[in-house]
Amino acid sequence: MAISKVVSGPVAALDGVKDDMTLMLGGFGLCGIPEHSIAELVRRGVRNLTCISNNAGVDDFGLGRLLQGRQIRKMISSYVGENEEFERQMLSGELEVDLIPQGSLAERCRAGGAGIPAFYTPAGFGTEVAEGKEVRVFEGKPHILESALTADFAFVKAWKGDAAGNLVFKATARNFNPMMAMAGRITVAEVEELVPEGSLDPNAIHTPGIFVQRIFQGPDYEKRIEQRTVRPQTPQS
């Protein structure tokens, strides 16, 4: 029988998180972000963090809460346009920022989990992204060398999971969560629904439990929408 990885909640799941650590936080925009783990990071007040995430949340939600508390020293991310506090800290020099093309960020996380130390990509060549990086030409096209990313802890959020840590993600939550789950030395998964082992269709599992060390079911999820776009109502005849 597999060892149960279920913990009581975010307090137990974040045991061992300390100042100065590197953390990966899954999600795409505000979709599939580890809301309860972030809330516990805020409560603990850990500082000088390096956070690897596709985005920086919004001012009062997601990683925006850690930015408001000045808990993040460095952000490694690809999309930060919805957070005014992030912009202010970056422009003032309070926050170190490494902006990476989205595909490169996802692949750097995947490479870290797969044990691949570096890879070449054409993305970013000829821009600031390429400064100081090795360049090689493949099939007549210049590529830059990108290094893999790993983290002390990876925090991911899944739709369903079981006691062995097997995870199923929904829709765009799959963009970064599965890769980051592979690349954390300790991976914490929070799920909307925790089911018994054997309940998940093996063909539907996106992240095998071998990559997950701790899992808990969140009590509820706010699931905010960054920008709601709706069609204007038309008068009915």
Task: List, for residues 66-89, the tens digit of each pLDDT value.
Answer: 999 999 999 999 987 778 888 899
8 A C-beta contact, residue 7 and residue 214: yes
pLDDT over 60 at 27, yes or no: yes
Q: What is the pLDDT of residue 226?
A: 67
pLDDT of residue 209: 96
Cα separation values, 201 from 138, 187, 206, Å: 41, 22, 10
What local confidence, expressed as pLDDT, does residue 230 receive? 80
Predicted confidence (pLDDT) per residue in 202-230, tens digit: 999 999 999 999 999 998 887 767 667 78
- Report the pLDDT value the prediction gives residue 112, as an integer from 0 to 100: 97
Q: What is the pLDDT of residue 59?
A: 83
pLDDT per position as a tens digit, 99-122: 999 999 999 999 999 999 999 999
Residue-by-residue DSSP string for 11-64 = HHHTTT--TT-EEEE--BTTBT--HHHHHHHHHHT--SEEEE-SB--BTTBTTH
For residue 187, give the 3-state DSSP assignment: strand
Structural contact between residues 185 and 151, judged by C-beta atoms closer than 8 angstroms: yes
pLDDT for the residue 20:
97
Nearest residue to 195 via CA among 173, 217, 213: 217
The pLDDT mean for the chain works out to: 93
**86 or 38: whose pLDDT is higher?**
38
Which tens digit of pLDDT belongs to each residue from 163-207? 999 999 999 999 999 999 999 999 999 999 999 999 999 999 999
Tell me the mean pLDDT in the region 32-47: 96
Kindly state the average pLDDT of the residues 120-136. 95
| Distance of alpha carbon 126 from alpha carbon 117, whole angstroms | 23
Which pLDDT tens digit goes with each residue over 48-62? 999 999 988 888 888
Confidence of residue 5 (pLDDT cuts 50, 70, 90): very high
Calpha distance 88→86 (Å, rounded): 5
Q: Does residue 1 carry a pLDDT above 60?
A: no
pLDDT of residue 237: 57
- Structural domains of the chain in order of their starting residue, each with its CATH number: 10-117+150-217 (3.40.1080.10)
Arithmetic mean of pLDDT, 34-55: 96
pLDDT band of residue 231 (cuts 50, 70, 90) is confident
